[in-house]
Structure 1
Amino acid sequence: MLEIGRINRLQVTKQVTFGLYMDGGEAGEILLPKRYVPEGTIVQDWLDLFIYLDSEDRLIATTETPKVMVDECAYLKVVSVTPVGAFLDWGLPKDLLVPFNEQDRPMEVGKSYVVVVSVDDATNRIIASSRLYDYLDEEADDDLEVGQQVELLISGQTDLGYKAVINHDYLGLIFRNEVFRDLPPGTELTGFVKHIRDDGKIDLRLEASKKTVVEMLEDKILQQLKNNGGVSQLTDKSPPEAIYRSYEVSKANYKRALSSLYKQRKILITHEQISLSDSE
């Protein structure tokens, strides 16, 4: 299925003087203008192409890659403001529209803003929005864990600290008293999930804790074994739900911890159980 605003792998169906037509499936043929056609391309070749709408709202392909794609966030500069909204430079000939009702505050030419990109359901046009809270989750889901490394994009400040986009999916907070350098909007950096509050809100830190999630889990596993006669039936083959009930971690992290303990010769592993080694 064709994905507007994303890279699609499409096959050449027809060659014309002004470019190539690509097979867009149910969307029909899509033009790849001549200036973007790779040298030597022929009918039936496959190409990786970015799909968007041209100035007449027709689907069009390009070999160029924009600065941001649909469902991603980026820090982009306003190049013009018109009666329909602000337009951002995103690396393609047709600038990216931010309608007025998608602006958290009125945008100004020459200034840059953190935006999230989506496809407007009514028009099929690719648009951007600085109303991040309307598109990104402020409460953690199952794919985030304390200690997890994440990619951050600083989006602004509050009295408490710096707001950050997490992996293009979430919004979190870095407390000001834990940051010892300036973090202007648009700063991209790696961080870590520090804490997930009872209400699901996400606190972040810029440095890994002294003990990683796996290292802390190793300590918990050893203590649990010592408290239960040195044996546990919770192995790397156990259901994820059982592992989470005992340790509140993913099965992947549990397996990493078991593997590390086994390599350190602190535990023995069989299909039926894990147990403390003689050294423990």
Structure 2
Amino acid sequence: MIELGKKQTLTVVKTVDFGVYLAEKDDKEGKDSVLLPAKQVPAGTKAGDELTVFIYKDSKDRLIATTREPMLQVGQTAVLKVSQVTRIGAFLNWGLEKDLLLPYHEQTTRMQEGKDVLVALYIDKSQRLCATMKVYHYLSTRTPYVVGDQVKGRVYEISGNFGVFVAVDDKYSALIPAREAAGKYRPGEILDLRVTEVKEDGKMNVTDRQKAYLQIEEDAESVLSVIDEFAGVLPFDDKASPEVIKREFGLSKNAFKRAIGHLLKEGKIEIKERRIYKK
């Protein structure tokens, strides 16, 4: 069976002026054949030859073969560049003559021409090849990484309940848990991360925070800079609500309390009347 969206090795069953027809080896009569246009037919090709091609659809929605190399196949992910934004969606350059459609309902952030986006390739209900930015189910769980490894990951979705979903190497499934997610994140942003857990199913938990003894120093400096913005007097102490702390510092309450404790120990701040003063 000739499969849409995949590379296949097919046999030349018929030669015509405008190309050659290809079919599976057992389909001698070419009942289920596909055209490879003449401009892509290798010189000297004849009936019975085998060619490796990619199957997609032309502008008239007909199956067609190409010897050009697409950047991804059905079920795979890749980073593609936006070539055009239209009223029906964005079109992506994926290495073929006809650009790939990323429909509006499959976008998770606003598109701009020239922007790089992580997408997966799928077949829609109309049997057309389309891209989606909702890549969670397409990412690999066969990670080569272990706890402690430093990796790079691209943010592709942000959830208030679960955390920040990340594609490590644009390929492997990972999550910054909500309790670890500090600061603001943007879809498409590439982060330096550390693997904190590899689960039985192969999915990873990662963090963009440093190891505790290094992170406290960084958090403490961040807290001091915010106190400066409040003219040296923070109008609440370390008993403030987690929501207020997250809003003002991008830190969890525990991380904030550790930073405050560190600053108190170093004599850089003092707490009185439920306020924090910079010394």
The TM-score range, normalised by the shorter chain, is 0.5 to 0.7
**2:115: which partner in 1?**
111
Q: Report the aligned-residue RMSD.
A: 4.1
The structure-2 alpha-carbon separation of the partners of 1:67 and 1:186, relative to structure 1 and needing over 3 Å to count, comes to farther
> More displaced, 11-20 or 154-163?
154-163
How far apart, CA to CA, are the structure 2 residues paired with 1:63 and 1:151? Answer: 34
**1:147: which partner in 2?**
146
How far apart, CA to CA, are the structure 1 residues paired with 2:78 and 2:150? Answer: 16
Given the two structures, how large is their TM-score scaled by the length of structure 1?
0.56
Which of 136, 139, 146 does residue 138 from structure 2 map onto?
Answer: 136
Larger radius of gyration: 2
How far apart, CA to CA, are the structure 2 residues paired with 1:187 and 1:27? Answer: 48
**1:39: which partner in 2?**
43
How far apart, CA to CA, are the structure 2 residues paired with 1:44 and 1:35? Answer: 19
The answer as to 2:94 corresponding to 1:124 is no
The structure-2 alpha-carbon separation of the partners of 1:68 and 1:136, relative to structure 1 and needing over 3 Å to count, comes to closer
Superposed, which structure 2 residues align to 1:4-43 within 5 Å? 4-23=4-23, 28-43=32-47
Given the two structures, how large is their TM-score scaled by the length of structure 2?
0.56
**1:164: which partner in 2?**
167
Deviation at 1:58, TM superposition (A): 0.5
- 2:138 aligned counterpart, secondary structure: coil
Deviation at 1:39, TM superposition (A): 1.0
- 2:68 aligned counterpart, secondary structure: coil
- 1:101 aligned counterpart, secondary structure: helix
**2:205: which partner in 1?**
203
C-alpha contact (below 8 Å) 1:145/1:193 kept by paired residues: no
Which of 67, 79, 90 does residue 75 from structure 1 map onto?
Answer: 79
How far apart, CA to CA, are the structure 2 residues paired with 1:162 and 1:132? Answer: 10
The structure-2 alpha-carbon separation of the partners of 1:93 and 1:152, relative to structure 1 and needing over 3 Å to count, comes to farther
The structure-2 alpha-carbon separation of the partners of 1:125 and 1:114, relative to structure 1 and needing over 3 Å to count, comes to same
Deviation at 1:91, TM superposition (A): 1.1
- What residue identity is the alignment partner of 2:131? A
C-alpha contact (below 8 Å) 2:107/2:134 kept by paired residues: yes
State the Cα deviation string for residues 206-245 of structure 1 (Å, max 9, x = none): 9xxxxxxxxxxxxxxxxxxxxxxxxxxxxxxxxxxxxxxx
State the Cα deviation string for residues 22-78 of structure 1 (Å, max 9, x = none): 015698210000111011111010010011011111110011001222211111111
Deviation at 1:155, TM superposition (A): 3.8
**1:97: which partner in 2?**
101
The structure-2 alpha-carbon separation of the partners of 1:46 and 1:10, relative to structure 1 and needing over 3 Å to count, comes to same
**1:243: which partner in 2?**
none
> More displaced, 57-66 or 157-166?
157-166
The structure-2 alpha-carbon separation of the partners of 1:49 and 1:198, relative to structure 1 and needing over 3 Å to count, comes to closer
Which of 81, 88, 91 does residue 87 from structure 1 map onto?
Answer: 91
> Which ranges in structure 1 are unaligned for 5 or more consecutive residues?
178-183, 207-280
The structure-2 alpha-carbon separation of the partners of 1:200 and 1:144, relative to structure 1 and needing over 3 Å to count, comes to closer
- What residue identity is the alignment partner of 2:146? G
> Which ranges in structure 2 are unaligned for 5 or more consecutive residues?
181-186, 209-279
Q: How high is the sequence identity, in percent, across the aligned residues?
A: 35
